[in-house]
Structure 1
Amino acid sequence: MKKKAVLLWFVYFSNLMIVPRFFLTQAEDGTLHVDRKVYILVQLITAMYAVWSYREVIQRGFENLVKRRFVRDIAIGYVVRVVLTMLLALVVPLQQTDNQANIESLLSSTSIVLMLILTCVVAPIVEELVFREAIIGAFKDKMNPWILTAISIFFFVLLHS
């Protein structure tokens, strides 16, 4: 399980940070951007690898989903998220991150349907597998789950800021 987690992290970060560097294109204003087709292909490859690697975990998750009151849990989670976001906005001024700018750039120049699939389906699934299953799930027997959660949060925030 740990080898699978480490390999998923390697694939995820190399496809996110290293591979795109070889496919930079220069825009009219002189800024460098990752070629959109390469970005989409890399995201899909990462997603396919992550889903294939953790297919048993995903299957168990769907089986458990039927047994839970997931609509209630989603509603509670959404309300808590909205309240926390509003409180955070009062304390810390919200700024647009590079990650958000890249997503908005892709949305404005690529097929809206394709980008919705990537940003609303593919990316969340991959990120759940990378940040939750490959960190917390793989090492929960050896380390405190709270420490693993903090590590997962740290890397998630670092990657998205």
Structure 2
Amino acid sequence: MNEHLQSIEDEFAPLHKEVEDLDVTYKKRYIQTLFIYLGYMILPFILSIFVVLMLRNNPFAFKPVSAAENAIEYAVSDVNAVLVIRTDDFLNADPSYFPFFYNVFTLGDYSIYTHTSASFYMTDDVFELTDDSNNPVILTALGFNEIFNEEKTTWSNGAQISYYIPDVDEPNFTLNNPKLESVVRIEEGILPTTAFNALYSFIIYIIVTVPLIWICKPIIKTDYIQLKSSMTSSDVLSKTGIGVLYLFATNIFVNVIVIILQSLFGIPSEISANQLSINRMLSSEFAILMIITAVILAPIVEEFVFRKAIFGLIKNTKTALIVSSLIFGAIHITTELLEGDILLALTSGLSYIGGGFILGLIYIQNKKNIHINILVHMVYNLIGILLAFM
């Protein structure tokens, strides 16, 4: 009987501790959590060297590509791209590229493609709208002359126009055009397959998630007991729904601020590299791996790192809220930061910083219980994935 009572007391012992006491108890685990996430940031770069050496000749992992398909690969990662390529070469390429381009102009055997995620179509007078839902814009003849005579070097959003052309079978209107100095001529090469990219990213996240959960097992149990003792299922659902609404409302508000900043400082309006990468994964036949990562794994990892660990290590709650929000924003715009465009990084990162701030407030309001945050984050990402498919 006494042993049974003791087991019950042990289970509910965490409820008798203050949050600050738990933070001291779990400090070592918080530090380990941060180091695991740091490993996640570095691991892909280290492993990629060995992966290329070991799997370079494996057709599942890597495939040789023509100059045409390599040019498409470059252009799909640049929303300001002008891709000039033989129409047949584009149509014979990997179909997963198709959702990312509009065929805006055709001249003989060649077509000009621009990125579907570009933000300049509605405001740039070189484009006209069409009734074709699959290809809603075309480049005017006047616009063609402006772009390929370099009279026009930037889009209406202020972004520099980039040109990608295969280094074979180049059309005369670019080959013999001395005014085109910003053309990137692409050679044939070797690319990782879409399947391998998706699998590689998924495995890296699994490598991070499993040890993180193992280290945080006592924290997970403590927070679960606290949640179970203080909330009903309907309370959890209500708080999750309200949290998701807060995130969407903040996103709308931040987007308005971003538009104002872009207008004042002439900053290009561009989709973040992080979001573009997610969109590419979702368009592949291995989208399920991206969905599992975005909806399940990422919320678990990010909430333990940016809420539980940072708030656990920084005693001042307001300081922790600011630090966690800024770092949460920064890790989602690493490409922009590495490229050194601070203003573009700022506008691209504001929505992530705002989201991190709201998730931090939700964490504080729920007595630093991680389970509510994870649920909010999961539902928000799930809705974002569904909207992306739609």
TM-score, normalization: structure 1? 0.82
Q: CA RMSD in A?
A: 2.6
The structure with the greater share of residues assigned to strand is: 2
Write the distance in 2 (CA, Å) between the matches of 1:36 and 1:86.
30
**1:88 counterpart letter in structure 2:** V
Residue-by-residue CA offset, 1:33-57 (whole Å, 9 max, x unaligned): 7943322111001111111111111
Aligned-partner Cα distance in 2 for 1:50–1:95: 34
Letter of the 2:218 partner, please give it.
Answer: E
Instruction: Give 1:40's aligned residue.
Output: 202
- The 8 Å contact of residues 198 and 289 in structure 2, kept in 1 or not, is answered as no
Distance 1:133 1:90 in 2: 30
**Amino acid of the structure 2 residue aligned with 1:21:** F
1:71 corresponds to 2:237: yes
TM-score, scaled to structure 2: 0.37
Deviations 1:83-132 (A, max 9, x none): 22222222213742222222222222352322211110011000001111
Report whether the alignment pairs 1:80 with 2:246.
yes
Deviates further, 109-118 or 50-59: 109-118
Q: For 1:109, what is the secondary structure of its paired residue?
A: coil
Higher helix share: 1
Alignment gaps of 5+ in structure 2: 1-25, 53-61, 75-190, 260-268, 334-390
Of residues 203, 213, 220, the one that matches 1:51 is 213
Q: 3-state DSSP class of the match of 1:96?
A: coil
Matches within 5 A, 1:7-156: 7-16=32-41, 18-22=42-46, 23=48, 28-29=70-71, 31=74, 35-66=197-228, 67-68=230-231, 69-93=235-259, 95-137=270-312, 139-140=313-314, 143-156=315-328
- Kept in 1, the 8 Å contact 2:198–2:286? The answer is no
Radius of gyration: which is bigger? 2
One-letter amino acid of the structure 2 residue matched with residue 80 of structure 1: Y
Q: Which residue does 1:2 correspond to in 2?
A: 27
CA distance in 2, matches of 1:11, 1:45: 10
Q: In the comparison of the two structures, how many residue pairs are matched?
A: 157
Task: Supply the distance in 1 between the matched residues of 2:270 and 2:38 (Cα, whole angstroms).
Answer: 24
Question: For structure 1, which runs of at least 5 residues remain unmatched after alignment?
Answer: none
Structure 1 segments (4+ residues) deviating >6 Å: 24-27
Contact residue 40 and residue 208 of structure 2 kept, 8 A: yes
Superposed displacement of residue 150, structure 1? 1.1
| Paired residue type of 1:103 | I
**Counterpart of 2:283 in 1: which secondary structure?**
helix
